[in-house]
Amino acid sequence: MTFPRTDFASASNAFEREWLITNALGGFACGTVAQANTRRYHGLLVASLQPPVQRVLMVSKVEVHVRYRNRSYELGSNEFAGGTISPRGFEVLSAFEDDEGLPVWTYACADARLEQRVWMADGRNTTYVRFQLQDASAAMDLELRPLCTYRDYHSHARGGWPLEVADEPRGCRVTAFSAARPYRVLTDRGDFQREPDWYWNFYHRAEAERGLDATEDLFRPGTFRVRLEPGDVVTLIATAESEFDPPATAFDREHKRRRSLLRATPAGAPDWIKRLTLAADQFIVRRSAPGGELRGTTVIAGYPWFSDWGRDTMIALPGLALATGRIQDAAAILRTFAAHVSEGMLPNRFPDGGEEPEYNTVDATLWYFHAVAAYLVATDDKALLRDLYPALRDIIDWHRRGTRYGIRVDPKDGLLFAGEPGVQLTWMDAKVGDWVVTPRIGKPVEINALWHYALTRMAGWGQALKDRRAAADYETAAARVATSFATRFWYPEGGYLYDVIDGPDGVLDIEGRRVDTSLRPNQIFAVSLGTGLLGPVRARAVVDVCAA
């Protein structure tokens, strides 16, 4: 996919268009079409040191200086505090394209064309930046100046601290401090000269728009110099690994991997389906145990700043893994989260620092049943169901007797109650300081739709596994939830479902019980989950009111 010149002809456009590539570990490289960093998260090597978290920005960017036919060209761009933009490499950018999900820049330097490509090694904290001289009538002299740092990717670093630079064959090794992971910056041809220096006051406009600190300084360990004849290629490698593949091998391997992903798309599928398939690949990553061994598979909730979240993983699994034919990944994700069930709950999220998971969610666990069901529809994998069934039973048992944060079944109606002051448990989880913006303590509508779904599925799975007594119990519980749901959640005056019942907020209904009459789309799950929780008339009313 080639983007029109108007997308990057001006600074405002070129600074707004962003690209992203990932490495299946939670690490990534991202930036703008202008190659000016506008976010603290932009960088060529953001390494994940405990996949998929502990992400450290190591190599921010590479400045490219070209000498061709007695003229000089600067191909990058930067914005500095005070508003200065220098250099303005986007002005000689003649083309930008997406080649199977990988960014490609083409720069016009007189009659020459210099192509730049960036990719990461799958499963490695290694980024490759490849330059090829095309359509040239003479040789081109290239200078590559990597700009480096070593910081948590949520932060900024200021300059002046003594990074250690050691010579390596065709490059250097950078060590920020004694406890830091060393990383290397190398090329496959040319010469490297150590020239340590600091570049000051880079400005990240997107951070300023968020009201955050917006400036940082970057360290240049030295300069790579190489002469390219027409058709020649040079590749810069930034790596936090002890070993890496030669650039040509890595390039071929990554393109073969991407083409294999596209085999899952139907014949004749439009390009946007293929792009979605490749984009889905970015979110499926490996998860390591505390000792560093890669033991599981999970889903990154979003780039650049999210880690893996239980809710997002379970909702996204059918689209990311099943629709794309990644059945083994789907099974691995389900197993990974089953291994982290605690007191009948899936993790809400895994913190960036690799600490113990946080469990402040009520719906992630219930969405797990939906993900398992989708997997079984796609595969009929009874062996996996048998393996997961003890964890699924444990979840139901804990919810019935009560688990964290007041999550428990109300014995009076079989509905699920959740919440306590100061904790956000549903997807409406905004919190400012100690203030939970939308607490939703009580019996939320979508939570009870999901609870009914879980019980219904457990009844069927119990029968399939010949756990008939439990299956009958789940079926009875599901029927009770359905009756209570129909009686308690319908708001006759509004013609839709209450958002929360039996909580501390809202108004009193005719029987003196608290109900939240807020019209919210949460109720749509009572229809979309497909368990017949509502009759056809009420289901139609819910769909119509949500669509209005």
Q: Cα separation of 42 and 35, whole Å?
A: 9
In a domain, 288, yes or no: yes
pLDDT tens sequence across 485-538: 999 999 999 999 999 999 999 999 988 899 999 999 999 999 999 999 999 999
Does residue 67 register a pLDDT over 80?
A: yes
Q: Which of 70, 219, 237 is nearest to 158 (CA)?
A: 219
Which helix (H) or strand (E) segment is 251 a member of? helix 247-262
CATH of the domain at 73: 2.70.98
Give the C-alpha distances (Å, rounded to integers) separating 336 from 302, 470, 504, 534. 19, 25, 36, 34
What's the mean pLDDT in 471-486? 98
Q: Pick left, alpha or beta for residue 132 (phi over 0 → left; psi -120 to 50 → alpha; otherwise beta).
A: beta
Q: Cα separation of 195 and 429, whole Å?
A: 48
In a domain, 518, yes or no: yes
Give the sheet arrangement for strand 514-516, strand by strand. Answer: 443-444, 500-501, 514-516, 507-508
Strand extents, DSSP E, 153-289: 164-168, 171-175, 183-187, 191-203, 215-228, 233-239, 284-288
Q: Which region among 4-13, 516-525, 535-544 has the lowest average model confidence (pLDDT)? A: 4-13
What proportion of the chain, given as a percentage, has pLDDT over 90?
93
pLDDT tens sequence across 349-372: 987 777 889 999 999 999 999 999
CATH of the domain at 336: 1.50.10.10
Enumerate long-range contacts of 320-329, CB under 8 Å, 24 or more apart: 320/280, 320/283, 320/284, 321/280, 321/284, 322/374, 322/375, 322/378, 323/280, 324/261, 324/264, 324/277, 324/280, 324/281, 325/263, 325/264, 326/264, 326/284, 327/375, 327/378, 327/379, 329/284, 329/297
Q: Which of 194, 215, 200 is nearest to 159 (CA)?
A: 200
pLDDT for the residue numbered 292: 64
Does residue 290 register a pLDDT over 70?
A: no
In a domain, 441, yes or no: yes
Same domain (yes/no): 330, 229: no
What's the mean pLDDT in 191-209? 97
pTM over 0.85: yes
Same domain (yes/no): 40, 157: yes
Does residue 291 register a pLDDT over 70?
A: no
Same domain (yes/no): 432, 503: yes
Strand partners, 233: 132
Q: Which domain holds residue 532?
A: 268-547
Q: State how many domains the chain has.
A: 2
Same domain (yes/no): 282, 390: yes
In a domain, 249, yes or no: no
Q: What one-letter code names the amino acid at 326? A: R
In a domain, 253, yes or no: no
